[in-house]
Structures are given as structure tokens and as C-alpha cells.
Chains A and B, each alone.
Chain A
Amino acid sequence: MVVLKEGMCPGLDEGLLRDLRAADIKTVEDLVSSDIERLAQQCSVSYKALFAIRRVLLAQHTAFPVSGADLYEELLSSTAILSTGNPSLDKLLDSGLYTGEITELSGGPGSGKSQVCFGVAVHVSHQLKQSVIYIDTTGGLTAGRLLQMLKTETSSTQEQTEALQRIHVFRLFDVFSVLDCLYSLRGGVLQQASVGGGGGSVRAVIVDSVSAVISPLLGGKQTEGMSLMIQVAGVLKTMAKDFNVAALVTNHVTTSGSGEVQPGLGVSWSHIPRTRILLQRAENAAAAGRSGLRTATLIKSSRQPCHIKEEFDLRWWSRSEGGSSSGKRKLEETDS
């Protein structure tokens, strides 16, 4: 739906525009869907002229076909698979996060969603030397933890600093500022990055969590929430596709009537991510006391059979420290 303007196409002059307005034709959509013959009589212009204008407008606003062979070639040259840095998760995701797609992590409180996001951010920025955009909507991003993860990867302060500098953090707490941010990213930062190419371009956008900004709008008598949710989904999708970045989002979970745990935000959102993973505390671990063991279940994927499960340990990312001492390690670092 675009408003008709003078000079949009040859033949659409001021006089005709005025006539069209009088006939209640304001937008391209109106013109395209109107009965041309009747309109020609109403505005007293030639049928041929109106027909030509419509053709130009249609051609201007249409999508154009690309051959599958070209797409395949493009896919080979521009798609990347970003490893999450954790072998079990990589196995579940068919070797990692694909650029151009939205991957979703869902799970209850303390199920390790943010930890996986941290791990991915650190891995992409340090191992793959690419920039990461991290949109934090829950205030959960702890740079101290990122540093802790980095320290297990490298002992060089220089490399740690560089890796941290490649992680760009936005802290936004409502849906409109998230939308502002995503649109301006698409118009600005990512555009430059993709044109510039080379090392250090943005390859991953992480939104932790997408449900935190959307769920305040859903429920009750609000109707706008749905539309805003789809807006967020749309901009994330086009961004992922057009700039070849991997989008990783997190979602909360709800428990259905039968006691089954499923990702939140309802059915319409469930169509948005290409791959969905459900994180849960490992059942046997709950009995054994505190541990970082989690199970990840693949609930939607276009590549792998669904409902395959993998078990992994959140302490993987701080492995060389040896388990429970990590909390203390951090204390030493920040204090000294």
C-alpha cells in the first residue's frame, strides 16, 4: 500500500491524480484492484493510459523471480554455519547455527538459555572472529561471565579484549525500542558490514529474550500485541535473510493442560523460527542435586528428525576450571 504520487510513473500527472482522488483512489493498492474500465469513464481518461499506468505500477511493486541454480550458487557462497562451541548442541543443530535463519531456544527459568547465548556470542567473536550483536531485554547479560568463558578459550589478554569488543550489546526493555533498533540495524550497521565484507562483519544477532518484550503486550484485552509480535518476527526474518546473519532468539515456556512443556508466545510465533530447541534440566540430575546438566530437545527443524534429544553440561563453557570453582574464580578476577 503506497500512496499515489505525481511522477511515480509516466502519465500520472497532477490532473489525473486529482481525478483519481475524487474517485476515492488514493493508493497503488486502490488503483490496482479497481475496475479500470469504470475508472476510465469516471475520470475521463483513456482506458489505455490507465491500463499502462497500472502495468508500470504492478511491475514496480512486484517481486522478481530468481532461478534456483542462482540461489544455490548464492547459498554455497554466502551461507555460513556458525558453531555454537558445544558439540552436543552442534549435533542437534546439524553442525551449528545457519546464517539466514532464526533459531529459537526455549526453556524455563534457569534452564540455561542465556548461558547458551553467552557461549555462542563468545565462540563466534573469539573463534570465528566475527562481530555479534547482542540485544539484551532481560538485563541478564553479565560481561563477567563472558570474560570467564573467554578465559577458558585463551589466556591472552589481548585476544580477550578483542573478542569482547566484537560483541555489541544493546540493552532495550520494550518492544518499540527493540523494533527501532532492528530497523536501524537493517538500515545502517549491517548494511555497512555486508558491503565492507571481510573479517569482523556481523554474523550473528542474538535476542535474549524475545518473549520478555512481547509477552507484556499479549493477554487481556490487548489486540495490538499480535501485530507487534509479527512485526518483530518479520524484521528479524528479513534481516537474517538479506544480510546473511544467524538470528538466535530465546523464548519462555508454558505448561499445557496435560502438563506438557511447550515454548511460549503461542501458535502464530511457532511458525517464525526455522529451528526450535527446548532446554530442560536433566531429570536424573535433579535427583543427584545441583549440576549444570541440561537436556536439549529438537522440536522443530527442517533438516533433522524432530524430538531427538541431547544432553549437555552448561559447565562445558567453563570446563578447564573444573566445575564448581567457577564462581570463586570470578570473584578473584573482579577483586584483584
Chain B
Amino acid sequence: MGYFTAGNNKAMLLLVSCVAMCDSYFEKVRAELYLQGMLGHWSRRDVWSCRQQLAGQMQRPVSSLSLSPSVKVKLAGAGFQFTAELLQFTPAQLRAETALSQEEALEVLQAVRTGGGEEGAGAPLTALELLLQEEDFQSIMTFSSQLDDALGGGLPVGRMTEICGAPGVGKTQLCLQLSVNVQVPQCFGGLEGQVIYIDTEGSFLLQRVVDIADAAVRHCSLLVEDDEQRAAVTTFSVETVLSNIFLVRCRDYVELLAELHLLPGFLLEHPRVRLLVIDSVAFPFRQLFDELSQRTRLLNSLAQQLIAIATTHHVGVVITNQMTTRVRGSQSQLVPALGESWGHASSIRLLLHWQGCQQLATILKSPGHMEADIQYQITSAGFRDTSQSEQPQSKRPRTHSDQSAATQRDTSC
């Protein structure tokens, strides 16, 4: 791209002006030839440096700013195409030039100044800083030591995890288990966080939460070794567990989308929230949609919103999805619902399924872990390893291994 804009290259401009202002035709032709000769003799380096200079100054089109379409149309109507042209204007002047209202003019100028500036996108992190950040964040234990192993310590905070599975395979159970586990006191290797549980199916069972919380509390009290843990156990009770769960019941997709718009504010008021559960995202989106492309668009923007929430507020986002049957020729196959593009939304995708009489959790995708199959079971105390499966000896922090050993004890009795 080598477009000249005013004042880019003084010498060029002068020369071109000379050609244009020449009076006699003869003179003009000579000057033109001279100009062509000049360009022809430009060395590669000259052309290169000129291009570099131009590229840096290449302007940003107004249409790329985050403004409403009607404002953009008005700006284009008044002849403004690049943000640089708007920089010198005051709101009043801009109003005079265009058909914009006072507020719109202010909004435009603000967008031009922040968006076009150097600091528009925020400072980048280096991968090293990101690594340190990742190490700071803990993961949320699942209480199945094998699944924790495969996921590198549990479900990660700051990422989106999707749990898919057929009805009755344990999606909701795992969600309830995670809602309790995220509250385990820090001295027991937990996060001591709070949880927002968005229930769209009406499947939130308080009785199960009480069971699971009761098991987790008993479990921790068995592990007490020092005074700190003893003190922590006194505050970690079924009542506190329940009071740290914020349940939101969304009946349709409009309620869900509205809730997500309000969530960032809620999260600022409750900085201890470490987990957001949506059970399930599929249910409200599998009904009442005439136009499929509209649904895809809404789902995609929902996904981006969730990812943004997860990253900026350091919250683990767990969503559940239903399964659907895909027919390919004569074969049919059970695949996660909501279409193919939804599969990209989550960073980690877990599939819970039956194999014979065993329940298996499969990591379908994850940026940091290998694909794996893990056996699990749902007991009255919640989501656990299968008791007969061999425990692979792995190097885990002491609190973790204590916990998993105790988990086994729990499940076997």
C-alpha cells in the first residue's frame, strides 16, 4: 500500500505541485517526464523507507471504531473516513459539520482519541508473566483424584470448561460438587471462594448440595492437623457453604443474556467469587429459535462474554451442554448439542458418558493436557473416583494426596 496523503513527503508534494501548476503544456510534459524519471531512479531503499513512513501513518477508518451504525453513517455522509481527520475537532465544530447530536459528537471524539491512541489495546503481557499468573491461580478440585491428575490439579480458574453428557450421567452432580469444592478453606488446599450458580433447567437440588457439603465438611474435619486448620474447620460448615452459593434461576435465553450483562458488576461487588456455573447453556437455546443463524450469533457472543468474564475476574466458568444425535448417512452418532461452532467456545471440553456399566469422563480438548479417559462414579457423597480402580502414584502436594486418600476412604466405607 503506498497511498500518498497530504504532507507525507514534502519533496514529492512539491514536485507534484510543480507539475500541476505549470502553465504551458510543453513545460508540463517536461516536468512530468522529469517526475517519472525521478521515480524510476529511486533506489529500492528510498521506495522502502517511503513505504515504511507511509505505512506508519496509514490511517484508521472511522468505520472500525466501536460506534453505532447510525453514527457511522452520519460521519460518512459528512465525508469523514479516517479518524485522523476528526482529531482536531471540538464537539461543537463536529456537530456543525455533521448531523450528530451533542452526545454522539462527544462519543465519537472519545472513541477517536482512545481507540486510535497507542494505549488503545492495553499493554501486552509476555508469556512469562502469563506463566507466573497461571501458577498463582489454583484449580478447583473435582474430588476425583484421577480427573484432577489428568487436568493438572482440577478445573482451572480463569478459563471456560464445558461438560457435555447424556441425561443422568452426572453433569449436574459434578457442577454441585465443584460449587462445594471451590469453598474448601485455603489451608486444606482449596480456594475459599464463592460461587454463582445459574440454573436454567430447574435441576438445582438443594438436598444434594447439603449431602455433598456435609461429606466435604466431614472430610475436612478428619484431616485437621494444626491449629490453623482447626480454626478453619469451625467456619466451614454446611450453612456457610450454602450461604456462599448465589443461585440465579433463568427461565429463558433472554433472562440468561441479561444476567450475563449484569454479572461483571456483581463480580466487582463480590470479589471472592471464583466459580460461575451455568447448568445448562443448551436448554434455553434449544427452543423457540426460528432462525438458526441468529442463535449461532447469540451463542458466539455469549461465549466471548463468558471468556472475558473468566479472564478479567479470574473466575472459573463451568457450563454444561446436552447431547444430540447427528445422522450421517445410515449412521447416527451422539454429539454435543448447539452445533459445531459452539465447540470452539470452551477451552476445555469434558465428555461424561457410559461405557457398559462404567461412567467415563473424557477430555475431548484442552490446550494444556493430553486427551484421556477417566473412570468415576457418583456416590451419595458426590463425584468420586471409582473405588476399585488402581490409584496411580503421582507426585502431588501433600494436602492434595491426603485429600484423595481420604476421598478413597470415604467412598469405600
Contacts and interface: CB of A to CB of B under 8 A. Distances in A.
Contacts of B128: 143, 161, 164-165
B368 A145 contact: yes
Contacts of B294: 219-221
Contacts of A121: 127
A194 B6 CA distance: 24
B341 A330 contact: no
Contacts of B134: 142-144, 334
A173 interface: yes
Nearest to B307: A139
Interface string A246-259: 00000011110001
Given A173-B308, A252-B341, A215 B300 contact: yes
A326 interface: yes
B63 A231 contact: yes
A2 B5 contact: yes
B125 A171 contact: yes
Contacts of B13: 60
A133 B343 CA distance: 25
A332 B393 CA distance: 12
Interface string A160-171: 010011111111
Interface stretch (A35-43, A86-94, A177-185): A177-185
A181 B344 contact: no
A331 interface: yes
B283 interface: no
A141 interface: yes
A80 interface: no
B160 A139 contact: yes
Contacts of A173: 304-305, 307-308, 311
B120 A146 contact: no
A7 B397 CA distance: 72
Nearest to B21: A52
Given A60-B6, A139-B160, A331 B64 contact: no
A168 B124 contact: yes
Contact of B344 (A168, A242, A252, A330): A252
A231 B82 CA distance: 13
B115 A180 contact: yes
B292 to A, nearest CB: 8
Contacts of B63: 227-228, 231
Given A26-B78, A143-B134, A183-B120, A108 B343 contact: yes
B238 interface: no
Interface stretch (A63-71, A268-276, A302-310): A63-71
A151 interface: no
Contacts of B44: 70, 73-74
Contacts of A227: 63
Nearest to B86: A3
A324 interface: yes
Interface residues of B, number: 98
B303 A212 contact: yes
A53 B223 CA distance: 86
Interface residues of A, number: 116
Interface stretch (B53-61, B246-254, B382-390): B53-61
A124 to B, nearest CB: 12
Given A61-B3, A108-B340, A215-B341, A142 B368 contact: yes
Contacts of A118: 367
B29 interface: no
Contacts of B20: 9, 52-53, 55-56, 59
Nearest to B68: A224
B108 to A, nearest CB: 14
Contacts of B92: none
B311 A171 contact: yes
A228 B1 contact: no
A129 interface: no
B81 A1 contact: yes
A145 B347 CA distance: 13
A238 B2 CA distance: 10
Instruction: Give the most central of B121, B150, B369: most A CB within 10 Å.
Output: B121
B118 A187 contact: yes
Interface in A314-329: 324, 326-328
Among B21, B298, B394, chain A packs the most CB atoms within 10 A around the CB of B21
Nearest to A148: B368
Interface in A188-234: 188, 191, 194-195, 209, 211-213, 215-224, 227-228, 231
A197 to B, nearest CB: 11
A238 B51 CA distance: 11
Nearest to B119: A184
B51 to A, nearest CB: 7
A212 B300 contact: yes
Given A174-B308, A216-B303, 8 more contacts: A52-B21, A60-B13, A140-B347, A143-B128, A143-B130, A168-B127, A186-B58, A212-B303
16 contacts: A27-B79, A55-B20, A61-B3, A63-B1, A64-B39, A133-B124, A139-B310, A142-B368, A143-B130, A167-B127, A169-B127, A173-B308, A183-B120, A231-B61, A290-B370, A291-B371
List of 4 A-B pairs having minimum Cβ-Cβ separation, nearest first: A110-B365, A109-B343, A181-B121, A219-B293
Interface of B: 1-6, 13, 16-17, 19-21, 39-40, 44, 47-48, 51-52, 55-56, 58, 60-61, 63-66, 69, 76, 78-82, 85, 115-122, 124-128, 130-131, 133-135, 149-150, 152-153, 158-160, 291, 293-294, 296-298, 300-301, 303-305, 307-308, 310-311, 328-329, 340-341, 343-345, 347, 349, 364-365, 367-373, 394-397
Interface of A: 1-3, 5, 8-11, 26-27, 29-30, 52-53, 55-56, 59-67, 70, 73-74, 108-110, 114-115, 118, 121, 133-134, 137-148, 161, 164-174, 176-177, 179-181, 183-188, 191, 194-195, 209, 211-213, 215-224, 227-228, 231, 235, 238, 241-243, 252-255, 259, 264, 290-292, 324, 326-328, 330-332, 334-336
